[in-house]
Chains A and B, each alone.
Chain A
Amino acid sequence: MQNEEIKQPQLTTAKFFTSSFCLQHSAFVLIAILALAIRLPQLGFRPMHTDESINAFITGKLLAGEKYHYDPQDRHGPVLYLLAKPVAQLCGAKNLSDLTETELRLTPVIIGSATVLLFGAAVEMFGFIPCLIAALLFAFAPLPVYYSRYFIHETFFVAATFGLIIAGWRAVKNNSVFAAAMAGLCAALMLACKETAVIHFFALGVAAVACGPTALKKYFPAPKILLAATLTFLVGGILLFTWFGQNWSALADLLRAIPNFAARAGGQGHEKPFSYYFSILDPQFIFFLVAAAGVYAALCAAIAGTRRTGLLLAIYGFLIFLIYSVIPYKTPWLALNFWLPLALLCGLGVEGVWQQFKSSTGRWIVGLAVAALVLTAGEQTKTLAFDHPADEHNPLAYAHTTDDILGLPVRLEELCRERKIPVPRIAVVAKDAWPLPWYLRKFSNVGYWQPGTETGAANFFITPTDVSGALAEQLKDYRPEFFGVRPNVLLILWTPAETLPAHE
């Protein structure tokens, strides 16, 4: 009896480690580790985009002990800062001036890599091969790699969206209150990442209904499921937006954000043609072709009644692609929202083709084609995310800060040393000073003024190229030095006319 008790767990453990479940999930863990390894190098190499520098500034304030206040004027929700703050603290940062690009970008890197694990959790929903292919594409393709190394909200948003899809499906299928609560939490995280979550809620709702009235009737969530999801969504959302009850006005501000985002959707300088996301996602149309096979496979499976989740995904993906494409406001990082359904549909497409080939030769060809697809994506990733991450010809580097700005703080330090100014007073007079607050964070005495306002005396002035009025008169004896901020955007460092030390 004793021997049996001892042997039993050994057999169970052995079975577990050789079971397909364990092997399958090990594959996703391995891909996630590879995704992390790819995302980590040279995190501080690319200059900080304006949006990243604003997010860094807010994170720096939180590190310094200030409370988070939701700003309805295009600042999005608090999830990014909530996750970035402890990571930065673990790295030893106490305020903005302590922060580095690497410390900030580490958070999206971790989340982006962890998203790969979610494909392992979605095997039951979409199948092993589709999830494996999608995980590979998410781990190595340029779009997810590039924006997993970018200190903005998109990577978190996509992870929460995937979490909502998986948890929501499990809640309905298994009648699980826990899964429903997780779905509600994921929905709250989505909204607290970006207010555009409502577009995704709408698309997922329509997709669920369109999957078939019969299925909807069969799987319509029980009241306890709906209640659990709604409660966690409300509680989670309120806690996040009010910064855990410290700022209740955020709830009213959330409503005030609606007209701002409606106006933003109109473009505000970011208008792009309807076809823009095609060129960002897949200029060669290879992935779209494979995904089209996935849509066909999903339709066949839904008609045959074997699996409806592929159809749900296809409808959701099509709807958000359509809505985002119709909205004039477009930026390349929004395309990450489509990469999730596109990668999974590619996986379904590959599985569909795989099943058509019964011979081992045919399946080898499919396997080699997939390997070539992933390698091609990896090669593009190398070019776009590592070799030329801020190049103006890189479609993912949108209105990006140029390398030249890195020389500005170096030049200021050089001038301060030469002129023996220990704490320089720097006056930045510009309508849009970003990302200067990031690059001047080591200087303790920097002020930012809007054009036309009185700045008082300063050791150095920084302005755009169109200086006018009293400031132009004030700077007439100063020497200008140009620094590039973004393509076609220059700033001038004005130094009092003395003999200047030469550029190093």
Chain B
Amino acid sequence: MTKFIFNSLSLVLLATGVAMAQDKIPLETKLPDPLFVGTPVPINIPNLEPKLKKFPTFEVPVGTVNLAKGKKVTASDSDPVVGTLDLVADGDKAGDEGSWVELSQGKQWVQIDLENDANIYAVVVWHYHSQERAYRDVVVQVSDDPKFEKDVTTIYDNSAAGKNQPYVESYFGKLMDAKGVKGRYVRLYSNGNTTNKMNHYIEVEVFGKPAA
């Protein structure tokens, strides 16, 4: 009997030792397959219900106005696919056909010349809000240099290098805090969107006061 117990214990210890001596192997588990669904239902929403319930509360100094309205707009794509560059700062935010400009695919920018130096407190941009979509690599910069080669301040950056998060377009636009940065030119970049490779602008507002 003692011999039997001894032999059994030896076998258990041996088996444990062998198991411990082996390399570890990755745990494998079968992941669930996708469930089948029917033909997707097309979603056509004239004006998508925004994720935001209301336009965010944001305080600016007394006397702050939209300095961009009616100002000259230039772009990396001087010959837009649809619309004209003046639509970017014409005050029309409706979002329907005729109120937006389409720049060609890939990374493109639009630039607004405020004509004078200004302290800029906020930039609000509407890319496209008649459909749920997100624009890629949205970057907004302010500078005194029209070529943006020096004295460039980045106020918003949701590209991979930036700190801001990507967002889904809505009719509230996207409010960006400019923190009173001083400059004459505002440049906005984007790199296509989740529906197509094009870049769109309905309106850009630059809220500030002429620099003292």
Question: A257 an interface residue at 8 Å Cβ cutoff?
Answer: no
Binary A-proximity of B112-132 (CB < 8 A = 1, otherwise 0): 000000000000000000011
Q: Contact at A448–B31, with CB atoms within 8 Å?
A: yes
Question: B136 an interface residue at 8 Å Cβ cutoff?
Answer: yes
In this complex, the member of B45, B133, B168 whose beta carbon has the largest number of chain A beta carbons within 10 angstroms is: B133
Residues of A contacting B19 with CB < 8 Å? none
Binary A-proximity of B31-70 (CB < 8 A = 1, otherwise 0): 1111111111111110010000000000000000000000
Residues of A contacting B197 with CB < 8 Å? 403
Question: B166 an interface residue at 8 Å Cβ cutoff?
Answer: yes
Residues of A contacting B165 with CB < 8 Å? 479-480
Residues of A contacting B194 with CB < 8 Å? 402, 404, 482-484, 490
Chain B at the A interface: mostly helix, strand, loop or mixed?
A: loop
Question: A392 an interface residue at 8 Å Cβ cutoff?
Answer: yes
Interface size of A by CB at 8 A reads 47
| Number of A-B contacts defined by CB within 8 Å | 110
Contact of B48 among A402, A483, A488, A503 (CB under 8 A): A488
The CA-CA distance from A404 to B193 in the complex, in Å, is: 8
Residues of B contacting A486 with CB < 8 Å? 40, 42-43
Binds B, one of A27-35, A243-251, A262-270: A262-270
B-contacting residues, A45-75, CB 8 Å = 50-51, 54, 57, 71, 73-75
Give the top 8 A-B pairs by smallest Cβ distance, nearest first. A447-B31, A484-B194, A269-B41, A482-B134, A488-B43, A448-B34, A399-B42, A500-B160
Residue of A nearest to B134 (CB): A482
Contact of B35 among A264, A447, A448 (CB under 8 A): A448
Question: A296 an interface residue at 8 Å Cβ cutoff?
Answer: no
Contact of B133 among A269, A403, A481, A484 (CB under 8 A): A484
Question: A436 an interface residue at 8 Å Cβ cutoff?
Answer: yes
Q: Contact at A488–B168, with CB atoms within 8 Å?
A: no
Q: Contact at B196–A402, with CB atoms within 8 Å?
A: yes
**Given A402-B195, A445-B31: A490 touches B168 (CB 8 Å cut-off):** yes
Question: A450 an interface residue at 8 Å Cβ cutoff?
Answer: yes
Q: Contact at B132–A50, with CB atoms within 8 Å?
A: no
Can you name 26 A-B pairs with beta carbons within 8 Å? Answer: A50-B37, A75-B36, A398-B39, A399-B40, A402-B196, A403-B197, A404-B193, A433-B34, A437-B33, A465-B132, A480-B166, A481-B166, A482-B136, A483-B194, A484-B134, A484-B193, A484-B195, A486-B40, A486-B42, A486-B43, A487-B42, A488-B44, A488-B131, A503-B137, A503-B159, A503-B191
Question: A502 an interface residue at 8 Å Cβ cutoff?
Answer: yes
B65: min CB distance to chain A, Å: 33
B→A interface (CB under 8 Å): 31-45, 48, 131-134, 136-137, 159-161, 165-166, 168, 191-197
Contact of B40 among A432, A436, A503 (CB under 8 A): A432
Residues of B contacting A445 with CB < 8 Å? 31
Q: Contact at A437–B42, with CB atoms within 8 Å?
A: no
Residues of B contacting A500 with CB < 8 Å? 160
Residues of B contacting A479 with CB < 8 Å? 165
Q: Contact at B159–A448, with CB atoms within 8 Å?
A: no
Residues of B contacting A502 with CB < 8 Å? 159-161
Residue of B nearest to A446 (CB): B31
Question: A428 an interface residue at 8 Å Cβ cutoff?
Answer: yes
Extra A-B contacts (8), CB below 8 Å, given A50-B37, A398-B39: A402-B194, A403-B197, A432-B37, A447-B32, A448-B35, A479-B165, A487-B195, A501-B160
In this complex, the member of B34, B132, B136, B195 whose beta carbon has the largest number of chain A beta carbons within 10 angstroms is: B34
Residues of A contacting B191 with CB < 8 Å? 503
Binary B-proximity of A67-102 (CB < 8 A = 1, otherwise 0): 000010111000000000000000000000000000
Q: Contact at B195–A404, with CB atoms within 8 Å?
A: yes
Residues of B contacting A480 with CB < 8 Å? 165-166
B-contacting residues, A444-491, CB 8 Å = 445-450, 465, 479-484, 486-490
B154: min CB distance to chain A, Å: 15
The CA-CA distance from A57 to B165 in the complex, in Å, is: 34
The CA-CA distance from A445 to B131 in the complex, in Å, is: 33
A47: min CB distance to chain B, Å: 12
Residues of A contacting B35 with CB < 8 Å? 433, 448, 450
The CA-CA distance from A445 to B26 in the complex, in Å, is: 13
Question: A331 an interface residue at 8 Å Cβ cutoff?
Answer: yes
Residue of B nearest to A438 (CB): B34
Residue of B nearest to A492 (CB): B166
Residues of B contacting A436 with CB < 8 Å? 34
**Given A486-B40, A488-B132, A502-B160: A392 touches B195 (CB 8 Å cut-off):** yes
Contact of A503 among B31, B41, B160, B195 (CB under 8 A): B160
A155: min CB distance to chain B, Å: 16
Residues of A contacting B42 with CB < 8 Å? 398-399, 486-487
B168: min CB distance to chain A, Å: 6
B104: min CB distance to chain A, Å: 15
The CA-CA distance from A437 to B196 in the complex, in Å, is: 21
Contact of A482 among B31, B40, B168 (CB under 8 A): B168
Q: Contact at A51–B137, with CB atoms within 8 Å?
A: no
Residues of A contacting B33 with CB < 8 Å? 437, 448
Q: Contact at A399–B39, with CB atoms within 8 Å?
A: yes
**Given A448-B33, A490-B194: A264 touches B38 (CB 8 Å cut-off):** yes
Q: Contact at B41–A270, with CB atoms within 8 Å?
A: yes
Q: Contact at B40–A268, with CB atoms within 8 Å?
A: no
Question: A434 an interface residue at 8 Å Cβ cutoff?
Answer: yes
B176: min CB distance to chain A, Å: 18
